[in-house]
Structure 1
Amino acid sequence: MRILPKKIIVPCEVAVKDVIPAIKALIATELSARGFSQKEIAEILTISIAEVNYLLKGKRGDEQLKKILSSDADFMDLLNSFTQKIVSNDNGADPLSLCILCSYARRKILKQEQACPYDIS
């Protein structure tokens, strides 16, 4: 019997199931609080209006993870800065990437060890 080599772990595959929905829910909540409609939030996040509705109602994004992320002051500062870039349209037509938020959440808060090119030191 052959011993299999180590498994390949792609941080994005792990994050897309847990971390990114929680981050999107926090962003959607923040944008909604700033007066954006669900349609506008859907366009910003490139998701459906129904998905925005699910995010805002807590049907998407792990509640425990959202609680952990929202209780971290540094993460929330980063999220608020990110949201401010959306609101002020700082970077023009260039799309914003969630990678910096995801990386911070995975490494600094959740203590996940998988390396990502966007990881913050």
Structure 2
Amino acid sequence: MELAQPTATQLNDYRTGMQRNAAAFIERHQQEHLHDDSLFDRAVNHLVDVWDVPVFMADRLVHLAMTERLPKGRRWIGIDMASGPDFCVFHDRRANKIVQVPSSNRLHSFLQDLANPAPR
């Protein structure tokens, strides 16, 4: 008896379907979790336990599903250089945290380049 190998289309459909299941689970349960880490773990367990997805694939599918939830074109971290060369402020928009960081001249110029990228 020979096992039939799934085609690339069938594998893609399976992955897409399981990613949709992960996204639906995340949507239903996102209000129950304060941090994305616990929601991530719970979604992986859901795919493994309910849908029999292999663990290595469940991690990746949940990661992709969570990434799709993020607004497109929005930076996760903002850098405020207006506080001067001695300090800069990092603003993590996902966690809504602001951290003041002392910066050296080298770090300051790197952060300026990062905040104001040169046109390509």
Relative contact order, CA 8 A, sep 6+: which one is greater?
1
Give the structure with higher Rg (CA): 2
TM norm. shorter chain > 0.5 = no
More strand by proportion, 1 or 2?
Answer: 2
